[in-house]
Chain A
Amino acid sequence: MGRRTTADVSPPNAGLLKGLSLTGGLAMVLVLLAFGAVMIGPYGLTTGQVLSALLGQGDQQAQIVVWNIRLPRVGAALLVGAALAAAGASYQALFRNPLVSPDILGVSAGAGLGAVAGIFLSLPVVMIQASAFVGGMVAVGLVTLVGSLVRGTDRTLTLVLLGVVVGALAGAATSLLKVMADPYDQLPAITFWLLGSLASITTRDIVPALPVVLIGLIPLALLRWRINVLSLGDEEARALGIEAGRTRLIVIASATLITASVTALAGVVGWVGLVIPHIARMLVGPGFGRLLPASAMIGAGYLLVVDTLARTIAAVEVPLGVLTAVIGAPFFVWLLARGRRGWL
């Protein structure tokens, strides 16, 4: 890890400068990736075509492709990736476990059930989003509530196991709804949604999700120092002067809000929240003030690449959740094999 080579006392601004240049570098990579993603697709575009379309000039068809098809999709991929990675980084710090992710705690399963119920009841898109959020919230609420009632055991292990339990329960309910759903109209929508996809995304879908994600990110950014302290555990955090219970609740609510809103947008996209914070931590260290923006940016870039692959590698769209799992699972195994600490 590069940051450890600065063991000699460096001027206090060196870290800040390094952080800024890293942020700048990541932002530049993101812009390039986004530009590339706009060019790639069944209707290939050249650099010049994209540039003039962005300026509202040139070929009419290229303008439509750029503005109505590629840009909403690129924007959605960036948003979903950033949100999931940011939420994952928060969960990992809060639960003091680098192997925790929104999926493990049941947010995704709960949000999935909520959204499927919404589709089953033929609710409008906004209500499906709300339903997904409530489902995610209830799932994580259940996990933490029951976890706090179980005494005298390993807290982290308890939470992870409860997450599995609640996730399985939500999965069972989801299956029941699938059986009961209209096989011609609702079932394809549900199946598509549960695998995660940005294929049918339009600007109209992104607009409501964006402010919700930002509202969730604000408390995480503001509480960045306290989240560091919370990662020492509740008891120590309280001894250091933090009302741990309240702070923890705010962070869980924010991370769940973020996860639930993008899950409602893109469906269940796993692994991003688990894998990306690790890569970010390797780059900038565990300090949450740097980890949060780094995770968000790397997550955005990662999902953009994955989504671009999803729509280009085959004649049919590959579901997003399938690709993130194919990439994420081996990474998870690699992390376990490295086994630096007694995780879990």
Chain B
Amino acid sequence: MLEAQDLSIGYGKSPIGTGLNLQVREGEILCLLGPNGCGKTTLFRTLLGLLPALSGSVLLGGRPITAQTRAEIARAIAYVPQAHAPPFPFEALEVVLMGRTARLGAFAQPGKTDRAVAEDAMRHLGIHDLAHRDYSQLSGGQRQLVLIARALAQEATLIVMDEPTASLDFGNQAQVLARIGALAQIKGTASHGVILSTHDPDQAFALNARVLLMHRGGVLAEGPATEVLTEANLTTVYGLPITVESTLSGRKVCLPRLATDTSATMMPDAMTSP
């Protein structure tokens, strides 16, 4: 499906990350974790073919992504950006319909079939009642769900999500997360591969995801959440003592120690913008 081999990423000549390897298949969730500025967004842009790799290669469906057109790529990978406000008051359904673009001719408009696919995607996420609402007036959580619906309407098997819960309140985070978990679990042809970045290691546990833990432009560890998100690894990456505990229901949670007297100060790379 999507495979990165010995990837170096960055802008201009200075690499932000090197030696990156990863692989995602259908029915699988890969969770990217790491502090601000570790190169998550840059990696996403490279995986989507929006930014050329400095070295190494990205293979999509077995073919180098650089040899594919934007439309070919968009039919295979959908991108869900962080919920944003567009400058114009498009209806939510129109935003979802934009996911159909890669399947339309250059001069074509979305037709009946596209409309049906878009409406199905919204129904699937339980937001069909928002179809004719002004997208720019929706709440952050609703917008995020509309963007996920757009990715579904794109009918790509892979979905890349950049911090899908970043701007959401507590309740919406859980709701969006549940929808994401469901995307990978659908059996059969509708099963998606999902790559998402997050700042919350608990989400990786909740999704039972495979985790790629990034640290200083490289991969510190990769594997199932329970193996990668250890107290030692998390403490290394975030630069302060973190304990991992199990709740009564058996789910694991990460707890940073909030002592003010520790020598752990903010890591310099936690201050840089992505």
CB distance from B12 to the nearest CB of A (A): 10
- Is B102 interfacial (CB 8 A cutoff)? yes
In the complex, the answer to whether A242 meets B109 with C-beta atoms within 8 Å is no
* B87 → A minimal CB distance (Å): 5
Q: Which of B57-65, B126-134, B179-187 contacts A (4 or more CB under 8 A)?
A: B126-134
Distance from B67 Cβ to chain A, minimum over Cβ atoms (Å): 15
B257 on the A face (CB < 8 A): no
A97 proximity list for chain B (CB < 8 A): 87
Per-residue 0/1 for A1-12: is the Cβ within 8 Å of any B Cβ (1 yes, 0 no)? Answer: 101101101001
CB pair B87 A228 closer than 8 Å:
no
Q: Are B99 and A238 in contact (CB under 8 A)?
A: no
Chain B residues, CB < 8 A from A36: none
Q: List chain B residues, Cβ under 8 A from A12.
A: 112, 115
A75 an interface residue at 8 Å Cβ cutoff? no
Minimum Cβ distance to chain A for residue B190 (Å): 20
Interface residues in A285-328 by Cβ distance below 8 A to B read 285-287, 289
Q: Which stretch of B70-78, B164-172, B200-208 is in the interface?
A: B70-78
| Residue in A224, A228, A285 with the greatest tally of chain B CB atoms within 10 Å | A228
Cα of A228 to Cα of B103 in the assembled complex, Å? 15
A contacts with B, residue count (CB < 8 A): 36
A226 within 8 A of B: yes
Q: In the assembled complex, which residues on chain B have CB atoms less than 8 Å from the CB atom of A222? A: 106-107
Which residues on the A side are within 8 Å of B101 (C-beta)?
225-226, 229, 240-242
Instruction: Let me know if B70 and A236 touch, CB within 8 A.
Output: no
Segment touching A, from B88-96, B216-224, B260-268: B88-96
**Could you tell me the distance between the alpha carbons of A12 and B97 in the complex, rounded to whole angstroms?**
14
B232 within 8 A of partner (CB):
no
Q: Are B98 and A285 in contact (CB under 8 A)?
A: no
A81-131 contacts to B, CB under 8 A, are: 93, 96-98
Contacts A98-B87, A228-B98, A281-B88: A241 and B71 contacting too (C-beta < 8 A)? yes
CA distance A286 to B92 in the complex (A): 12
Q: Which 4 A-B pairs have the closest CB atoms?
A: A241-B102, A241-B74, A286-B88, A239-B79
Q: Which residues of B contact A244 (CB under 8 A)?
A: 70
Q: How far is the CA of A286 from the CA of B86 in the complex (A)?
A: 11
Asked if residues B75 and A241 are in contact (CB atoms below 8 Å), the reply is yes
B133 and A343 contact, CB distance less than 8 A: no
B interface residues (Cβ-Cβ under 8 A, vs A): 45, 48, 50, 69-71, 73-75, 77-79, 81, 85-91, 94, 98-99, 101-104, 106-110, 112, 115, 131-134, 136, 154
Residues of B within 8 A of A240 (CB): 74, 79, 98-99, 101-102, 154
Q: Whole-angstrom distance from the CB of B118 to the nearest CB of chain A?
A: 12
18 chain-A/chain-B pairs, Cβ below 8 angstroms: A1-B89, A3-B132, A9-B131, A96-B87, A223-B107, A224-B109, A225-B109, A226-B106, A231-B88, A232-B98, A235-B81, A240-B74, A240-B79, A240-B101, A241-B70, A241-B73, A241-B103, A286-B90
Q: Is the CB of B109 within 8 A of A96?
A: no
User: A223-B106, A240-B154 given. 10 additional CB < 8 A pairs?
Assistant: A97-B87, A226-B106, A228-B98, A231-B86, A239-B77, A241-B71, A241-B75, A243-B69, A285-B90, A341-B85
In the complex, the answer to whether B70 meets A238 with C-beta atoms within 8 Å is yes
Residue of B nearest to A96 (CB): B87
For B110, give the chain A residue with the smallest CB separation. Answer: A225
Of chain A, the residue at the smallest CB distance from B90 is A286
List B contacts of A93 (CB < 8 A). Answer: 88
A201-241 interface with B by 8 A CB criterion = 222-226, 228-229, 231-232, 235-236, 238-241
A292–chain B nearest beta-carbon distance, Å = 12
Option from A239, A281, A287 in Cβ contact (under 8 Å) with B74:
A239
| A225-B108 Cα distance, complex, nearest whole Å | 7
Is the CB–CB distance between B90 and A7 below 8 Å? no
Q: How many angstroms from the CA of A98 to the CA of B88 in the assembled complex? A: 8
Cα separation A3 to B99 with both chains bound (whole Å): 22
Please tell me if the beta carbons of B98 and A229 are within 8 angstroms of each other in the complex. Answer: yes
Residue of A nearest to B102 (CB): A241
The answer, among B48, B74, B134, B136, for a CB contact under 8 Å with A4, is B134
- Across the interface, do B133 and A7 meet the contact criterion of CB distance under 8 Å? yes
Q: Interface digits, A235-270 against B, CB 8 Å rule (1 contact, 0 not)?
A: 110111111100000000000000000000000000
Given the complex of chains A and B, what is the CA–CA distance between A330 and B134 in angstroms? 27
Please indicate the chain B residues that have their CB under 8 angstroms from the CB of A235 in the complex. Answer: 45, 50, 81
- A59 CB to nearest B CB, Å: 49
Are B70 and A242 within 8 A (Cβ)? yes
Kindly state the separation between the CA atoms of A241 and B78 in the bound complex, as whole angstroms.
9
| Residues in B neighbouring A4, C-beta threshold 8 A | 132-134
Bound: A4/B99 CA distance, A: 22
- Cα distance A281–B104 in the bound complex, in angstroms: 25
CB-CB under 8 A for A343 and B87, given A4-B132, A238-B50: yes
